[in-house]
Amino acid sequence: MSKPRESRFGFIDTAHVYLKAGDGGNGASSFRREKFIPYGGPDGGHGGQGGGIWFEASSNITTLAEIASHPHVTVNNASPGSSNKKDGLKSEDKTIYVPRGTVIKRDGIVIADLKLDGQRFLAARGGRGGRGNTAFKTQFNTAPRISENGEPGDKFEADLELSVLADVGLVGFPNAGKSTLLSVISAARPKVASYPFTTLNPNIGMVTHKGKSFAAADIPGLIEGAHSGKGLGDTFLKHILRTKILIHLVDPQGFPGIKPEKAVRIIEKELKEYHPKLAKKTSILAVSKGDLPEAQKVFEELTKKFKKREVFLISGVSGKGVSRLLDRVIKLLPEIKEEDLYQAGGVPEAPRAAPVVKRGLVLSRDADGVLRVSGEKVDKLIAMTNFTQPDSWDRLHKVFKLIGLDKALKKAGVVADDLVRIGGREFQWSDEALPTGKPTKFAYKYRKTSDYGDGQLR
């Protein structure tokens, strides 16, 4: 399992985790045998339901550090059924709390985007309990000696990515005054110093201006090549994908070797190179450190160079121009349409289990030439079949025939004594009848290999 992005900056925004939901409990096969009750009949109870794994967004959490340090999330299996029609106990669900803005991916596909406080998503579903022999009683079979194993719970590896949720993102070269501005307009207290890369983590503050409130995020300074990994850009650029407005702060003193005008173009190019959505966001230019002698000149030059852009002159120290900038922000925010913002994509409309249903059967050949039958339903059928019971074995034969597996294998060219792999087990094709006298196309052949069990019928 890959190591999460290390918090050399004290902040973890990615995690790779292994999820294993609880297996359902096995059903019981038993009969009621009591004095003076000659027709007790089957009384095997059903297995309990396996517990699932939920993710829940919480505004009290700001990092994925906790789950990154405990990447194996498992749920206990449910208990089996027993005699006297007693059903097994359900195993408890497990809830993993993550920050708002957490995106959950499976095989690179987004399966959940948790934006709201308290929003929940069932990532791994627990297996259902196997049925006891009471469920198989019919008028033709009043004494069934058959029960099911519990359904295996979902298990897979998932990638979690945190994308900070804020209405306004503060961007610019290192030491451009972003942290100073955030500390002035909100209660946030980011580290402020006179050297580059003072900010190593995104900082969020709630801003209240003239009765309106919004969240602003101070993103670590960007440099040329940030989109490809230089500086801290590739680590934190994703945190401004969800913002509605960008305030691009420009240091009137420039960055070493880079004049203010060129600095503006470099940052905007980096935003575009990282994601097209960033280039289309509403962006305001703000010349910071307005108390410096050269600030007014730089402001006038940028106003002329970028005639279609709004340019402000501000000072986080004296407060010059800050109120006017905030006036513009609170006016623009309601005009931004939700559909124009970045969306993680591929998200279910309602919370549901992550796995995509694979319909039908797929026949293929393994490297050693053995036929393999795969498919979610047939794999589940094998896992829930109790091979210690002859009746369960007979039932499996009938199901194979009903779903058309016999015909499919014949069409694939299977001949007598060929092995067929289904759901982690091996079967031997045969045109003869089993010793029981019941016709079948399969005989079970178990092997002591790591891939196909431990050599025991289950």
What residue segments make up the domains of the chain, in order of their start?
14-162, 168-340, 362-444
Per-residue pLDDT, 6: 40
CATH architecture of the domain 14-162 equals Distorted Sandwich (2.70)
User: At how many degrees (to 10) do helices 178-185 and 322-332 cross?
Assistant: 80
Could you tell me which residues come within 8 angstroms of residue 54 by beta carbon, excluding any fewer than 6 positions away? Answer: 93, 94, 95, 96, 120, 121, 122, 123
Per-residue pLDDT, 346: 45
Q: How confident is the model at residue 401 (pLDDT cuts 50, 70, 90)?
A: confident
Decide whether 14-162 matches 168-340 in CATH topology. Answer: no
Higher pLDDT pick, 112 / 346 = 112
- Residues 73-93 have a mean pLDDT of 95
Higher pLDDT pick, 438 / 158 = 158
Structure-block tokens of residue 352: 């549901």
CATH code for the structural domain at 168-340: 3.40.50.300
Per-residue pLDDT, 450: 37
Among 215-229, 327-341, 354-368, 422-436, the range scoring the smallest mean pLDDT is 215-229
Per-residue pLDDT, 326: 94
**In DSSP terms, which residues pair with 215 in a beta bridge?**
206
Cα angle value 408/412/413 (rounded, 5°): 125
- Residues 447-452 have a mean pLDDT of 38
- Residues 407-426 have a mean pLDDT of 86
Structure-block tokens of residue 335: 């005009």
Among 7-16, 18-27, 115-124, 375-384, the range scoring the smallest mean pLDDT is 7-16
Q: How confident is the model at residue 345 (pLDDT cuts 50, 70, 90)?
A: low
Rank 4-13, 154-163, 357-366 by mean pLDDT and report only the highest: 154-163
Per-residue pLDDT, 190: 53
Asked whether the predicted pLDDT for residue 160 surpasses 90, the reply is yes
The average confidence (pLDDT) of the chain is 80
Q: How confident is the model at residue 132 (pLDDT cuts 50, 70, 90)?
A: very high
Euclidean distance between CA atoms 398 and 406, whole angstroms: 10
- Residues 131-153 have a mean pLDDT of 92
Residues in the chain, how many?
458
Asked whether the predicted pLDDT for residue 11 surpasses 70, the reply is no
Give the predicted TM-score (pTM) of the model: 0.74
Q: How confident is the model at residue 341 (pLDDT cuts 50, 70, 90)?
A: low
Euclidean distance between CA atoms 453 and 458, whole angstroms: 9
- Residues 423-445 have a mean pLDDT of 64
Fold of 362-444: GMP Synthetase; Chain A, domain 3 (3.30.300)
- Burial label, 308 (beta-carbon count in 10 A; 0-12, 13-18, 19+): exposed
Per-residue pLDDT, 98: 93
Q: How confident is the model at residue 455 (pLDDT cuts 50, 70, 90)?
A: very low
